[in-house]
Amino acid sequence: GRLLFLVMWLNLLPQTDSCPAKCVCYSEPRPTVACQQQGLFSIPTVIPVRSQRIFLQSNKLTVVRSTSFSSCHNLTVLWLYSNNITYIEAGAFFGLEKLEELDIGDNSNLRTINPTAFRGLTKLHTLHLHRCGLSELPVGVFRGMFSLQYLYLQDNNISTLHDDTFVDLANLTYLYLHNNKIKIVTDNMFRGVINLDRLLLHQNQVIFVQPRAFSDLGKLKSLFLFFNNITVLTGETMDPLVSLQYLRLNGNQWICDCRARTLWDWFKRFKGSSSELECYVPEFLAGKDLKQLKSEELEGCVETSQIQTTLFNSKAQSGKFSSTESPLGDNIPKCCLGDNDKSSILSGKSRQITNNPPKEKENMSKTKYKQQERTKNETQNKQNDGPLGTLSNNLDKTLENLNPEFIENPESSTASNKKKKKCSRKTKLDSHCSKSQSSTLQVLHFLIIPMIWISLAMS
């Protein structure tokens, strides 16, 4: 009987006080169990319940059990980074109501997280989930984490974020999402993070930022979007960022024409510091800093069917583009609206088209891109094709004439030298603009376009 009692006593002892094998335990400044770099394959089964800090980083752990830490109610710091954790059982962190810092980073085979993994961690202020091979964050995974201030999600494989993923994180100050595969920054992605100070989105594959994406970010000081694939960003998108101090937008594919106008205007109001924004098109502005351009250099619209086709393709592939906007927004035709030649009739038409319900509008923009692509091929063909060939040559010249310095043939550009608005329809139905100059061309338009409309109506 005494022996049995002794065995039981020895069994109970480690659960209260003694230190697990291969670990070092100390109580100052706080009760700590330090087991890092010990080649451990599993989490010690008995960990002193009074522990406030547990260090298990740089081992070879593969699983976190629901029972691993369940008795350590006073735990405030838990480091599990740089292991080979592939599975975290549901409930692994349940009841850790005092936990303030949880580091699961650098477990590149983890891949998924249970939607309820972080439930009840209402005191957590720092969560490291970088380099975990995550491609998705489950809906509601950060729900109720009202104290979270630092969230590290960089170096994963995340391509989309659900609406309201961070909506409860009103205390969040740093959100690191760089080096992922995010393609579209959506309107509701960052809803609720009203205290965000730093948002790192560089080295993703962002092609488009929706207009209200930053509307809750009035406290944001640093925004990094460099090394993405953005072509257009509007001033309206940037307007809510009233506290912004550091902006990096370099390494994108900026279209420096009328579509950049509102961003250029926004930079006139912006008081913080910004990287360069290297123009990608038009060719004659390539490499120049969008911010430094003269107002006149942003007149007109450059034909960019190549880029837009690429963008459209990646949009289709990303699959989750729920927006009603085309990737380049509805701003594209704006520079044509002031046109007071007869082509404004067509502008009216195209505006009707853009007023269609969202779904149809998206279908419209598909056709729009296709048409534009076709237009370019037609233009190329027409060059070898008698009178129309001359015509398209003129069109090509006028693109270059966007910048007065690039006038190659002064004779053919007399009309464009007049200070009138230089946009008109190049082709029927196409809402993108290019410039025409010779009155013969305009006459041709007046004749051909109505004929096309009539034949369309009749068929």
Scanning 257-265, 269-277, 294-302, 373-381 for contacts with ligand NAG by CB under 6 A, the matching segment is 373-381
d(CA 228, CA 231): 9
Does 313 help bind ligand NAG (rule: CB under 6 A)? no
User: By C-beta, is 305 or 344 nearer to ligand NAG?
Assistant: 305
What are the b/e assignments for 275-308, b being 16+ CB within 10 Å? bbbbbbbbebbeebbbbebeeebbbbbbbbbebb
* Residue 341: strand, helix, or coil: coil
d(CA 49, CA 18): 10
* Burial (CB count within 10 angstroms: exposed 0-12, middle 13-18, buried 19+), residue 206: buried
User: By C-beta, is 48 or 333 nearer to ligand NAG?
Assistant: 48
Candidates 267, 179, 189; CA nearest to 228 is 179
First to last CA, the chain: 102
User: By C-beta, is 370 or 420 nearer to ligand NAG?
Assistant: 370
Out of 377, 414, 417, 440, the only residue in the binding site for ligand NAG (CB under 6 A) is 377
Does 305 help bind ligand NAG (rule: CB under 6 A)? yes
Does 133 help bind ligand NAG (rule: CB under 6 A)? yes
Does 84 help bind ligand NAG (rule: CB under 6 A)? yes
Integer angstrom CA distances of residue 267 from 201, 215, 236, 260, 280: 20, 18, 12, 11, 18
CB 144 within 8 A of CB 122: yes
d(CA 98, CA 388): 76
DSSP state of 20: P
d(CA 409, CA 325): 39
Out of 164, 197, 373, 396, the only residue in the binding site for ligand NAG (CB under 6 A) is 373
Helix pair angle (344-354, 358-382), 10° resolution: 140
Binding map of ligand NAG across residues 241-260, x = CB under 6 A, - = no contact? ----------x-x-------
d(CA 142, CA 151): 10
d(CA 435, CA 447): 18
User: By C-beta, is 167 or 337 nearer to ligand NAG?
Assistant: 167
User: By C-beta, is 250 or 416 nearer to ligand NAG?
Assistant: 250
**Token pair in block for residue 350:** 């195209």
Binding map of ligand NAG across residues 211-240, x = CB under 6 A, - = no contact? ----------------x-x-----------
d(CA 101, CA 94): 14
- Give the interface size with ligand NAG as a residue count (CB under 6 A): 28
* Residue 185: strand, helix, or coil: strand
User: By C-beta, is 31 or 333 nearer to ligand NAG?
Assistant: 31
Does 86 help bind ligand NAG (rule: CB under 6 A)? yes
**Token pair in block for residue 411:** 């004779």
Find the residue with minimal CB distance to ligand NAG: 50
In which region does residue 244 sit, left (phi positive, over 0), alpha (psi from -120 to 50) or beta (all else)? Answer: beta
Residues 33-72 that bind ligand NAG (CB under 6 A): 49-50, 60, 62
Does 146 help bind ligand NAG (rule: CB under 6 A)? yes
Out of 310, 318, 322, 390, the only residue in the binding site for ligand NAG (CB under 6 A) is 310
Does 440 help bind ligand NAG (rule: CB under 6 A)? no
Does 74 help bind ligand NAG (rule: CB under 6 A)? yes
Scanning 20-28, 237-245, 254-262, 356-364 for contacts with ligand NAG by CB under 6 A, the matching segment is 356-364
Does 167 help bind ligand NAG (rule: CB under 6 A)? no
User: C-beta of 294: minimal distance to ligand NAG in Å?
Assistant: 26
User: C-beta of 88: minimal distance to ligand NAG in Å?
Assistant: 13
Does 116 help bind ligand NAG (rule: CB under 6 A)? no
Scanning 316-324, 343-351, 372-380, 391-399 for contacts with ligand NAG by CB under 6 A, the matching segment is 372-380
Does 376 help bind ligand NAG (rule: CB under 6 A)? yes
Which positions touch ligand NAG (CB under 6 A)? 49-50, 60, 62, 74, 84, 86, 109, 133, 135, 146-147, 157, 159, 170-171, 227, 229, 251, 253, 305, 310, 359-360, 363, 373, 376-377
